[in-house]
Chains A and B, each alone.
Chain A
Amino acid sequence: MSVPGFHRPATVEEAAKLLACTEGARCLAGGATLVAMMNASLAEPKAIVSLAGIGELSGISVLAGGGLRIGAMTRHRETAEDARLTGTLAVLRDAARQIANPPVRNMGTIGGSIAFADPAADYPPALVAAGAEIEIASASGRRRVAAEAFFVDWYTTALGPGELVSAVLLPPPRPGAGLHKKLARVSGDFAIVSVALSLARQPSGVAARIAIGGCGPKPLHIAEVDAMLTARLGDADTARSAGERLAAASDPVDDVRASADYRRLVIPRLVAAAVAEARTALEAK
């Protein structure tokens, strides 16, 4: 390579090997996070492993069972424009659409975003609500982790040394609706709080999956809350109680965007609003 320390491998395995073996190596996906940190002298990598040359990592494809595979290097713009992310998967498309702004959506990638695991980012709660799995690659092979288990703590994921995200795997889209309701100070900002909601039409009614972002170290998801909403989606009190359960379980901090108190205060209100909006969308179909 013409720049010392800069690597542009052609395969995932090569990339994983380089990351594992090269001291001070950082993985470069879209650059939205890593290069910003480098510019601010918050990261000074001795080597960079660019994923730009790995064909396998780009694009959204349909798998044998009808599920979707989003390559780790898929840009937010592509995810936001993909019509196959519909029904129960619409929540993910809605989240991608609200990340930052058009030029950043041309650069940022789903793999890069989730590997950084910013608790205020849009993908984490949306992936949990969509029931996604994360495919992790290393020099020795691939493994899968449920999205919920992938986000471990503040800016911490289940990735081990020498591992990288290779894809996001989604179950087949089923009839339903979804939305990613995001509260931010201005357009394109990180979320103060976000509510990711996916509704699935069932023979018996509607099943709900809801996750909250921006209010703790990782997306907040409580199975019992899903069950509460699934049982009585149309009831405003249930939606409010569900939100209060989530708020009580949340672990927000004070930061420049908002206080922890405000986040707790607004979670139930946003949940109720999100449920109402999603139900309306579902009924309109």
Chain B
Amino acid sequence: MTALKGAVGSGLARVDVREKVEGRAHYTADLYRPGMLFGAILGSPHAHARIKSYDVGEAMTVPGVQCVVTGDDFGDHRMGAFIKDEHAIAKGKVRYVGEPVAAVAAETEAAARLAARLVKVEYQELPAILTPEDALKPGAAIIHEELDSYFKVFDTGSRGNICSRTDFTQGDASAWSKAEVVIEGNYTTQPQAHVSLEPCGALAEIDAAGRITLWSANQSVFRVQANVCESLGIPMAQLRCVTPRVGAGFGNKMEAHIQPIAVKLAMESGRPVKLILTREEDFEIVRARHPFKIRIKTGAKRDGTLVAREVEVLLDGGAFADDSPGVLGNGLWFSCGPYRFDYMRAWGTLVYTNKLRFGAFRGFGNPQVTFASEQQVDEIAALIGMDPVTLRERNLLRGDDRWFGGTEVGSNALGACLEQVKTRSGWSRRAELKPSTPERKRAMGIGVTAHVSGLLATGAIVRMLEDGSIVLNTGAVDIGQGSDTVLCQICAEALKVPVDRIRLASPDTDGSPYNWGTTASRVTYTTGRAVVAAAGEVERQAKEHAAEILECAPSDLELRPGGQFGIVGVPEKTVTFAQISARAHWAKGGPIVGTNSYVFDRPTFDPKRAIAIGLPFPQIGALAFGALVVDVEIDEVTGKVEVKRAWSAVDAGRAINPLSVEGQIEGAFVQGMGLALSEQMVWDGARLANPSLMDYKVPTALDAPYDIEPIIVESHEPDGPFGAKGVGEIGINAVPAAIANAVAAATGIRFNALPLAPERVLRAMLAK
């Protein structure tokens, strides 16, 4: 086949890159609508309190104020991804410091913020629950008193302050008797803030017919639609959600933030309202990565065969459930690692506390459990005197091995990933590494991981316009990871046209097929599959037309590059898309539209192989794999840990756009490095102490190593689009573990808590 421009496998420049480098890309805050007002929120000063009354009188006197809303203006409707426990704005009760309790729309942002501060709210304080342990104590104040009445998507086991519990078991516990070495340890990880460069925001406008259009920083126009309509008690058909450019997500924009409030302000004022959070508000009220407490026990034989593992976790979920039950389930599901065990049990509890809700964040529990599980693998290797890579190679899932719970593994090139990082890093010669100065220690560390690509519902519509050009509509939001381009490449490849013949329709709940969202590394695989199928539909319909035009049978025809069909073996007999489409529009059949819609339906758990209690995702799969080696130095003067080089190999099935795949690997690495070394949300009592970029530090260009080598390994996922799987999260999961393994190799000290901040490392080195 002639190489068409932008074919699958080409590191094509992204379809949206010109507008971004020219500064013309419009994010939510860049949008202006005639008559637009600005919105601002007032946050609760208390972590846990009943709301007794509001006084908006003084707020209303601020010049420019058009309306003020409080919980009293909202009905008793709740939203939530797994447990519908959340109002659009605090109603009756506040559950964390900063929780929105009132909102104002005014002619200027300054007026809105001033007025918001002037809203008076009378509270009756309740005891604040700040840790999961406190939440579980008998007699503890109950954060969600109506928990029993909330709608729940699965059997969550909610009671008291327990939000959900999950328990997965596979195999027979008698397998422990075969273990000749057993390691048990406790690990903790810290809350991490997403710090997407674009703070969350929304712009809502009501049209003359009373229908609402909502632009917002989002990862799913459909989740925004559902959340806004559920929490406002309005029919979903009344709300049209669209998306401007999004300045990164990583999970914090997947579920609602202030969209319901912005919509309400627009409804009350009758004018468009734009509400953009400050960076401080973004830290305080959106969501963050769950801190995990992990107890893990791994048993092996002396020959290195892994035999049994048990993982127990306790999650602080914050004030609302949000995606947390999913994080609990996903974390447990991945806590086995990509290994064979005769017995595996993973269970845990998610608990409400009076802090901001923890929610989806790249990895979705996997980085946290992997910090524990991949260290244990190294600990076992050390105990039995085996090289950590060799031990892993011995136990990797291969061939027909299934994942924990029984789901099939399609393609698996983890062995090749491991081989690549081992070779390229010079792993076997790592003992020869010299620190860059005498006061440093230096070592390498390794970690392997897997992550999901397929879940929930998606669709694609491929339309051939009158002139033969193609419009693709999938409803998938590009949050910067490059899905717009990848989906166009897939469509172009399927229809054998250059990629610039495909135009993408922006996600729009009015016209796009349902797409659960840009999360869980799912768009390339899940939506890409729908695109291939829809394009196939277009090909089938077009072929019928072509056959009639060329007076042959459809089976005589082939799709040729450049947007045409021809008779096999007869080069000069062709008919173009334009000709076909004209016929379809004006003569016969109707405009050609290919559609596909499906929900990923491979079961996560096979009840014949494993038991699952409290399963948040009953149908999830299509696993990608990764291996990571890091080269780390520790400054013995200060305890500061620095990553000098990294090799990250990812089996993403097929790299539709290799440049974008590399970008995901590199970006995920640095974000994981922040989780491992420098980022930490700190609470001062009930209040977040560092909700600003002055005080919460993410890696800069000088902190991130330049020498990050992304390695693409292709394996071909059988039902993936052109063999592709997901790649968004696989690059972050093993980072904290690999760094901790390197630090352990360099210092002889195991660090069971994140982050590996200088103080922790120095004290441990001095204590040794």
Would A and B touch once assembled, by the CB under 8 A criterion? yes
For this complex, 27 residue pairs linking A to B, each with C-beta atoms less than 8 Å apart, are: A40-B280, A41-B113, A101-B700, A183-B758, A185-B757, A186-B700, A186-B702, A187-B700, A187-B701, A187-B702, A187-B703, A188-B700, A256-B682, A256-B695, A256-B696, A257-B695, A258-B758, A258-B759, A259-B759, A261-B759, A262-B758, A262-B763, A265-B762, A266-B637, A266-B639, A266-B762, A270-B637
Name the interface residues of A161-212: CB closer than 8 Å to any CB of B. Answer: 183, 185-190, 192
Partner of A262, one of B682, B694, B759: B759
Query: Which 4 pairs between the two chains have the least Cβ-Cβ distance?
Result: A187-B702, A262-B759, A186-B697, A256-B690
- Bound state CA distance, A262 and B758, in angstroms? 9
Interface centre among B697, B757, B766 (most CB of A within 10 A): B697
B61 within 8 A of A: no
- Find chain A residues with CB under 8 A from B640 CB: 183
With most chain B CB atoms within 10 A of its CB, the pick from A41, A101, A269 is A269
Cβ of B439 < 8 Å from any Cβ of A?
yes
Known contacts A40-B280, A256-B682, A258-B759; is A266 also within 8 Å of B700 by CB?
A: no
The verdict on B689 contacting chain A, using a C-beta distance below 8 Å, is yes
CB distance from B637 to the nearest CB of A (A): 5
Is B678 in the interface zone, CB < 8 Å from A? yes
Encode contact with B along A112-135: 1 for CB under 8 Å, 0 otherwise: 000000000000000000000000
Q: Known A40-B280, A258-B759, A265-B762; judge A270-B703 contact (CB<8 A).
A: no
In the complex, B423 has a CB within 8 A of chain A: no
The A-contacting residues of B in range 740-768, CB under 8 angstroms, are: 757-759, 762-763, 766
Question: What residue of chain B has the Cβ atom nearest to residue A258's Cβ?
Answer: B759
Interface size on B, residues (CB 8 A): 28
CA distance A185 to B703 in the complex (A): 9
Q: Please name all residues of chain A whose beta carbon is closer than 8 Å to the beta carbon of B694 when the two chains form the complex.
A: 190
Interface residue ranges, A against B (CB under 8 Å) = 40-41, 101, 183, 185-190, 192, 256-259, 261-262, 265-266, 269-270, 272-273
Closest to B439 in A: A273
- A residues within 8 A CB of B439? 273
For the complex, what is the distance from the CA of A272 to the CA of B638, rounded to whole Å? 12
* Main DSSP-derived SS at the A contact region: loop
**CA of A227 to CA of B692 in the docked complex: distance in angstroms?**
42
Majority SS of interface residues in chain B? loop
Once bound together, how far apart are the Cα atoms of A75 and B690, in whole Å?
28
A185 and B678 within 8 A (CB): yes
Complex CA gap A258/B760 in Å reads: 10
Q: Chain A CB within 10 Å — which of B695, B696, B701 has the most?
A: B695
Tell me whether A185 and B637 are in contact (CB under 8 A). Answer: no
B699 adjacent to A186 (CB under 8 Å): yes
**When A and B form their complex, what is the total count of cross-chain residue pairs whose Cβ atoms lie within 8 Å?**
56
State in angstroms the CA–CA spacing of A63 and B439 once bound together. 42
Chain B, range 20-42, C-beta contacts under 8 Å to A: none
Query: A272 CA to B766 CA in the complex, in Å?
Result: 16
CA distance A190 to B690 in the complex (A): 14
**Chain B residues with CB under 8 A of A273:** 439, 637
Bound complex: CA A261 to CA B763 (Å): 10
Would you call B762 and A262 a contact (CB within 8 A)? Answer: yes
Question: Smallest distance from the beta carbon of A203 to chain B beta carbons, Å?
Answer: 32
Q: Check B689–A256 contact: CB distance below 8 A.
A: yes
**0/1 per residue, B89-118, Cβ < 8 Å to A?**
000000000000000000000000100000
Question: CB-CB < 8 A to A258: which residues of B?
Answer: 758-759
Sample of 17 further A-B pairs with CB below 8 A, known A185-B697, A266-B758:
A40-B280, A101-B700, A185-B678, A186-B697, A186-B702, A187-B702, A187-B703, A188-B700, A256-B689, A256-B690, A257-B695, A258-B758, A259-B759, A269-B637, A270-B638, A273-B439, A273-B637
In this complex, what residue of B is CB-closest to A36? B694
A276 → chain B closest CB, angstroms: 9
Q: Shortest Cβ distance from A257 into chain B, in angstroms?
A: 8
B638 touches A266 (CB 8 A): yes
Return the chain A residue nearest B114 by Cβ. Answer: A41
Which residues of A are found within 8 Å of B757, using beta-carbon distances?
185
Q: Contacts A258-B759, A262-B758 known; A186 to B678 CB distance under 8 Å?
A: yes
Q: Are A189 and B697 in contact (CB under 8 A)?
A: yes
Give the chain B neighbours of A261 by CB distance below 8 A: 759
Instruction: Return the chain B residue nearest A101 by Cβ.
Output: B700
* B695 surroundings in chain A (CB, below 8 A): 256-257
Docked pose: A175 CA to B201 CA in angstroms: 57
Q: A186-B678, A189-B697 are in contact. Are A269 and B703 (CB under 8 A)?
A: no
